[in-house]
């Protein structure tokens, strides 16, 4: 396991080529001018967002004590999930996957870390599929006594019962036949535990996996919940019709 000093040094070294990548992307953006091809403009914007998000995360990890510089704010998980859906269109299309996002709450967290958590869970859900079955993924929420449970549910091969705790340990792989390094769920657990939350995995109804994390409710959650009081009270199960917040349309990506 790397020490904090080694992580900071590695992050510093990685930031040098990343800054070069960002610089070249910005030059391409300037070269395209004010009216580029909309598809290319969308790809470029997504690449810049990802690179800038990586730079923020590397800067944080350059500190010997990353938690000391972490910025915790009220994070709208609905907005984070919608941005992830836009950024993941290529991944979903390549896998022939369908993504459905339901009502998601506010939590007190770091926005980049919440993006990383949902991105890791989505990537796993699309990766561990059943042969001949199109991947379907649902992102949903439900209330728990001290906050919210966010679930990413799929119709894939599932996680064996005797591996549902181990998979959240770094470098542990539930299925060695599927390509990967066993880092994604370990990263999810690390982020969530640092925020005072919990992680877990269950079998999904009808097969597949439901991987979830729980976080304390945002201080502003009670106010925002009045927008959809019934949905806030009972959450949003995978089979529910997605309910938007803040005038956002329901998301269903194919």
Residue 20 has pLDDT above 80, yes or no: no
- Judged on CB neighbours under 10 Å (0-12, 13-18, 19+), 239 is exposed
Domain range list for the chain = 4-68, 73-253
Contacts of 1 (CB under 8 A, 6+ apart): none
Dihedral sign computed on CA atoms, order 214, 215, 220, 222: positive
Higher pLDDT, 56 or 244: 56
What's this model's pTM, rounded to 2 decimal places?
A: 0.69
Separation of alpha carbons 171 and 184, rounded Å: 9
| Other Cβ atoms within 10 Å of 87 Cβ, number | 18
Instruction: Tell me which of 35-49, 111-125, 129-143, 211-225 is least confident.
Output: 211-225
Q: What is the pLDDT of residues 159-184, one digit of tens each?
A: 888 888 888 887 666 655 556 556 78
Q: Which CATH class is domain 73-253?
A: alpha beta
Q: What is the pLDDT of residues 209-250, one digit of tens each?
A: 999 999 988 765 444 443 434 444 445 544 444 333 333 444
**Which CA distances in Å does 236 have to 38, 96, 122?**
34, 24, 17
Q: What is the DSSP string of 99-137?
A: EEE----EEEE-HHHHHHHHHHHHHHHHHS--TT---EE
> Helix, strand, or coil here: 236?
strand
> Helix, strand, or coil here: 230?
helix
Q: What is the pLDDT of residues 95-127, one digit of tens each?
A: 899 999 999 999 999 888 899 899 889 988 998
Q: What is the band of 27 on the pLDDT scale with cuts at 50, 70, 90?
A: confident
Contact in structure between 184 and 167 (CB atoms under 8 Å):
no
């Amino acid at each position: 396991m790397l020490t904090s000093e080694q992580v900071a040094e590695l992050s510093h070294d990685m930031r040098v080529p990343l800054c070069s990548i960002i610089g070249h992307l910005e030059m391409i953006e300037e070269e395209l001018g004010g009216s580029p091809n909309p598809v290319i403009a969308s790809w470029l914007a997504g690449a810049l967002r990802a690179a800038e998000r990586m730079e923020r995360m590397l800067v944080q990890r350059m500190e010997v004590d990353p938690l000391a510089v972490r910025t915790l704010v009220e994070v709208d998980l609905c907005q984070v999930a919608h941005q992830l859906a836009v950024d993941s269109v290529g991944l979903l299309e390549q896998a022939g996957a369908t993504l459905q996002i339901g009502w998601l709450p506010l939590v007190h967290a770091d926005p980049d870390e919440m993006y990383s958590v949902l991105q890791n869970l989505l990537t796993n859900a699309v990766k561990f599929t059943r042969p001949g079955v199109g991947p379907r993924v649902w992102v949903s929420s439900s209330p728990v006594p001290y906050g919210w449970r966010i679930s990413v549910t799929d119709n894939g091969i599932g996680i064996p019962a005797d591996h549902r705790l181990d998979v959240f340990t770094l470098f542990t792989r539930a299925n060695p036949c599927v390509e990967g390094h066993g880092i994604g769920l370990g990263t999810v657990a690390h982020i969530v535990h640092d925020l005072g939350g919990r992680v877990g995995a269950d079998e999904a109804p009808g097969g597949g996996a439901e991987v979830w994390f729980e976080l304390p409710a945002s201080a502003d959650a009670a106010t925002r919940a009045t927008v959809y009081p019934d949905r806030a009270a009972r959450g949003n199960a995978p089979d529910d019709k997605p309910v938007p917040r803040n005038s956002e349309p329901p998301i269903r990506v194919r």
